[in-house]
Every structure is written in C-alpha cells, then in structure tokens.
C-alpha cells in the first residue's frame, strides 16, 4: 500500500474523520488488522483562517507547500489536502513536490457522475461557494453547480466556522441546513455536494430529499483505491 500524506488541521475536527475513514476503508478492503499507511502534517488552523479572512492566499499557499514538502520527505507517495476551501492553493502544493496530489473536487465530480447526476447544489464556506477555484473544477468535471442565495451562504459559512470547526453540532443548525438544501432542490439540484469536510458532522443522508455527496468520505475512498491500486 502506498503511504498517504495528509495536510490537515483545517479544522482538526474533520481531519480526525479523515484518519478514521482512511483506516476503516483500508481494513474493509484488506481485512484483519490492516490499517492505512499515512503521515500527517497538521497546521494551526487559527493562522490559516487569519490568512483566509485577509485574502492572503499566497502566504497560505506557502504554508501548505511547506507542509507538503515535509510529508514527501517523510515518505508520502500520494498527498491529500484535507479541506475543500484550501484547494484554492492546490497549485502551490502541487508545485512544491514531486508526488501527486489527489484533488478533492475531482474525486467528488467522479462520484456524482458515477451516480448518473449532473446538476448539484454546493454547500461550503463562502470562499468555496462564491469563488471559481472549486465550482469551476466541478464544472470542468461535467457538473452544473448551484449555490444558495446570499443570506443562506452567510448562514452556511457561519455555522462552519463558529460551530462545526469547534465541535459544536446543533439541531437548530441542522434544521437550517435542511431548509437551504430544500431550496437548492427546488431550484433543480439533483444532489447536494457537502463541499466542506466539517459539514459531514452535521448533515446526514436523511437530511436531504436527494443524494448527498460527503466530500471527505469520497476523498478518502478515492485515496484508498489509489493507494491499493497495485496491491
């Protein structure tokens, strides 16, 4: 099995899910006491969030590029950036190393197409919902992407940073997310992309009238498949 390199900590709540998923999926594939071969570089999310808020993406990219180099030096053969939003600087990461980066949006688009769907609603941080680095990547994968209205985008973003990133999972927020999902479905969404790894802590399949696509799980599934491709 190839050694996976995880750039995590954004937030650690979802990185912990990545660790669990990668090990469970490896065990399911190989059986017995098998677990994933991986190394983790976990950053201080407070520092990254400050760079996000200030629009200092080049600096954030430099930080994550350094993390990628440390993972390659530690033996990582395939990298995962364990966050949707910071795929805005995926190019910095890719340019810093010689090992491949498994892009989260590509894994997601593959899963949506495999389900026979094309038009999806996207939930995530304001950066992910409003900027083109992620929506455009999904569109280049053949998807038609819908996002909530401005008020709902602000709600989704607030819940991520003020609640989910600090481990708070609230029923009121789940109900509000359900309303946002229903609005997207009414607008024509055939599925919902949970385009922030923390959202999977809140939104369950039963919270949506259409299929949901949990990006952290899809990313982990694609990573284990790639790591075991030659097994």
Identify whether the C-beta of residue 105 lies closer than 8 Å to the C-beta of residue 97: no
**Which residue from 105, 129, 114 is spatially nearest to 211, judged by alpha carbons?**
114
Residue 85 annotated to the active site: no
Q: Which of 15, 108, 196, 197 is catalytic?
A: 196
Helices assigned H by DSSP within the chain:
12-30, 45-53, 57-73, 90-96, 104-114, 126-130, 132-140, 150-162, 171-186, 215-227
Does 165 participate in catalysis according to the annotation? no
- Alpha-carbon distances of 181 from 92, 147, 211, rounded to whole Å: 33, 10, 11
Please give the Cα distance from 181 to 210 (Å, whole number). 9
Annotated catalytic residue within 15, 26, 83, 215: 83
Rounded alpha-carbon distances, angstroms, from residue 153 to 74, 80, 123, 160, 180: 39, 26, 8, 11, 9
What is the set of active-site residues?
Answer: 83, 196
């Amino acid at each position: 099995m190839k050694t996976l390199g995880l750039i995590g900590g954004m937030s650690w709540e979802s990185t912990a899910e990545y660790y669990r998923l990668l090990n469970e999926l490896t065990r399911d594939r190989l059986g017995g006491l098998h677990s994933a071969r991986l190394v983790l570089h976990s950053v201080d999310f407070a520092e990254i969030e400050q760079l996000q808020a200030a629009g200092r993406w080049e600096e954030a990219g430099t930080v994550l590029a350094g993390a990628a180099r440390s993972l390659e030096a530690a033996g990582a053969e395939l990298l995962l950036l364990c966050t949707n939003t910071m795929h805005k600087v995926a190019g910095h990461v890719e340019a810093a190393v010689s090992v491949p980066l498994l892009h989260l949006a590509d894994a997601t688009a593959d899963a949506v197409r495999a389900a026979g769907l094309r038009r999806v609603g996207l939930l995530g941080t304001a950066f992910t919902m409003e900027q083109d680095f992620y929506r455009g990547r999904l569109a280049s994968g053949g998807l038609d992407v819908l996002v909530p209205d401005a008020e709902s985008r602000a709600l989704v973003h607030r819940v991520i940073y003020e609640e989910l990133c600090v481990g708070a999972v609230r029923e009121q927020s789940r109900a509000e997310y359900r309303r946002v999902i229903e609005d997207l479905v009414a607008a024509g969404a055939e599925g919902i992309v949970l385009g922030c790894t923390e959202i999977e802590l809140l939104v369950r399949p039963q919270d949506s009238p259409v299929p949901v696509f949990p990006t952290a799980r899809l990313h982990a599934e694609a990573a284990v498949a790639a790591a075991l491709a030659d097994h």
